[in-house]
């Protein structure tokens, strides 16, 4: 490893294991304290950001399309949202984003409304035949978030 200035250690290990009786001993201690402080800051920032979880382990999302298979034009997407044991998830907010799998197309954005316990529906317009991706962003009633994506293969022309 090339050191540009003589003041910096040549490797992270040099900072953690300085030579005794040299100025590197003081610099090494300073580097260890800086490394400890930086690690502590990352831990605190990470911990503070974890008050809301992103998980699909406890929640299942199953999309259904009408027409099935989907085709260009009006498509109704119904999402069944359940807990792992099958109990419907109620009171959630669902935001949908649909994108073509190739660049250059504007995304289709929609909010799904709860139509019955655990069942959410959105009407969208698919503008082009091809493969699409559906991204579902769920905010549960307790504030936790769930994010899941689905591939929609072979949307056909109307």
| Stated pTM of the model | 0.63
pLDDT above 90 for 135:
yes
Whether residue 112 is predicted with pLDDT greater than 90 in this model: the reply is yes
Tokens 């003041």 correspond to what residue?
7
Q: What DSSP string describes 29-47?
A: HHHHHHHHHHHHHHHHHHH
pLDDT at 105: 84
Cβ-Cβ contacts under 8 Å for 93 (sequence gap 6 or more): 111, 138, 139
């Amino acid at each position: 490893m090339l050191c540009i200035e003589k003041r910096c250690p040549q490797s992270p290990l040099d900072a953690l294991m300085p030579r005794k009786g040299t100025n590197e001993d003081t610099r090494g201690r300073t580097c260890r304290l800086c490394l400890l402080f930086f690690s502590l800051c990352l831990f605190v920032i990470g911990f503070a950001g974890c008050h809301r979880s992103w998980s699909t382990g406890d929640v299942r999302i199953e999309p259904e399309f009408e027409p099935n298979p989907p085709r260009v034009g009006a498509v109704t997407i119904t999402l069944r949202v359940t807990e792992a044991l099958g109990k419907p998830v109620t009171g959630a907010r669902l935001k949908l984003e649909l994108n073509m799998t190739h660049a250059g197309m504007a995304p289709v954005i929609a909010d799904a409304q709860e139509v019955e316990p655990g069942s959410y529906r959105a009407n969208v317009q698919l503008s082009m035949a091809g493969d699409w991706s559906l991204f579902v962003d769920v905010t549960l009633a307790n504030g936790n978030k769930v994010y899941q994506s689905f591939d929609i293969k072979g949307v056909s022309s109307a």
